[in-house]
Amino acid sequence: MSSKSSNTINILNRKAKFEYEFLDKFTAGIKLAGTEIKSIRQGKASIAESFCEFNNNELFVINMHVEEYSHATYFNHNPKSERKLLLNKKELKKLEKEVKNTGLTIIPTRLFVNENGLAKLNIALARGKKLYDKRDTIKDRDNKRALDRLKKNYK
C-alpha cells in the first residue's frame, strides 16, 4: 500500500462565483514544470485573477500565479507564465465554439492535486453577471444566513 500525499491542496477562486454565472464545468490537467508542481503541492498558488483563452486550438490559463519554488536553483519557473490545459479534443472544440459564437468566457474555479499527485484545474464556461444579478446574489446569501440563524436558535 503506497501512501500518496495525505495533504490535500484545494485553491479556490471565490470571486468567480460572485462575478460570473457558470453554465458548464470541466476538469482539466495542467502542463507544469517540476518546480511549479512542487510549489502547488505546498499551496503557494493563486487563480484569483486568472482566465483561459485559446491559442492555435489549444487552451491556456493566463495570469495564474505560482510562486517560485524556494529550494530551486536558477532553473526556477516564471511565476506568471501561460500554462497549457489538457482536455479532450471534443471538449476543446465545444469550448472554442461557445467562446467564439456566444461571447462566453472560461474561468478557473478550483486548483487541486488529485489522489495520484497530479495538478488539476476545474474550469467553468461562464457568462458575466450584471449589477442587478450581483445584488440578487447578495440578497439570497443574506436571507440564507438569517434563516440559518433562526433555525439554529430554535434547535
Domain ranges of the chain: 10-129
pLDDT tens digit sequence for 72-106: 667 776 677 888 999 999 999 999 988 888 888 99
pLDDT less than 50: residues of the chain = 1-6
What does pTM read for this prediction? Answer: 0.75
CATH code for the structural domain at 10-129: 2.40.280.10
Cα–Cα distance, 30 to 68 (Å, whole number): 17
